[in-house]
């Protein structure tokens, strides 16, 4: 009976340890955000988007870089909205280069209008 009890304790310890590890890993993948600050994303794509694309990316600022890339910058309310913007990038057909979450003060760029 003592061996059986020891096995149960070992299984419980393993489950508790695994759950703690999952929680730590989840926090590392999705760090908590300060809910008081808006999330601003910079999405870089290869190629230039002209001013006529401004309506397609309504809440984003389009900036054409001299290196032939376009930077989309703007606030995103949640992950679903971010995926919506990324879907629009995909639909344009230009290669996605990067997606970076920045603090609102870091986001700068000129408007393409």
pLDDT value at residue 32: 47
Same domain, 71 and 17: no
Same domain, 24 and 47: no
Same domain, 93 and 43: yes
Q: How are beta strands 61-64 and 69-76 bridged, if at all?
A: antiparallel
Same domain, 48 and 78: yes
* 113 is a domain residue: no
Contacts of 99 (CB under 8 A, 6+ apart): 41, 42, 43, 44, 82, 86
d(CA 25, CA 31): 10
pLDDT value at residue 79: 86
Same domain, 15 and 67: no
The domain that contains 87 carries what CATH number?
A: 3.30.70.260
Contacts of 63 (CB under 8 A, 6+ apart): 70, 71, 72, 73, 109, 110, 111, 112
pLDDT digits (tens, 9 = 90+) for 74-103: 998 888 889 999 999 999 898 999 999 987
> Which residue has tokens 């989309």?
72
Low-confidence ranges of the chain (pLDDT < 50): 15-16, 24-32, 109-113
Number of domains in the chain: 2
Residue numbers of the domain that contains 66? 39-106
> In the chain, which ranges are E strands?
39-46, 61-64, 69-76, 96-102
* 111 is a domain residue: no
pLDDT value at residue 35: 57
Same domain, 60 and 86: yes
pLDDT value at residue 24: 47
Same domain, 50 and 70: yes
For 4, the token pair is 């059986």
Prediction pTM value: 0.61
* 67 is a domain residue: yes
pLDDT value at residue 1: 53
């Amino acid at each position: 009976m003592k061996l059986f009890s020891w096995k149960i304790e070992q299984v419980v310890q393993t489950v508790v340890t695994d759950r703690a590890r999952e929680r730590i890993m989840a926090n590392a993948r999705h760090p908590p955000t300060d809910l008081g600050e808006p999330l601003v994303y910079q999405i870089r794509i290869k190629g230039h988007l002209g001013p006529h694309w401004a309506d397609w990316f309504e809440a984003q600022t389009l900036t054409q870089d001299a290196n032939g890339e376009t930077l989309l910058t703007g606030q995103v309310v949640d992950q679903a909205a971010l995926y919506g913007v990324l879907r629009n990038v995909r639909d344009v057909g230009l290669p996605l280069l990067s997606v970076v979450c920045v603090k609102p003060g870091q986001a700068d760029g000129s408007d393409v209008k």
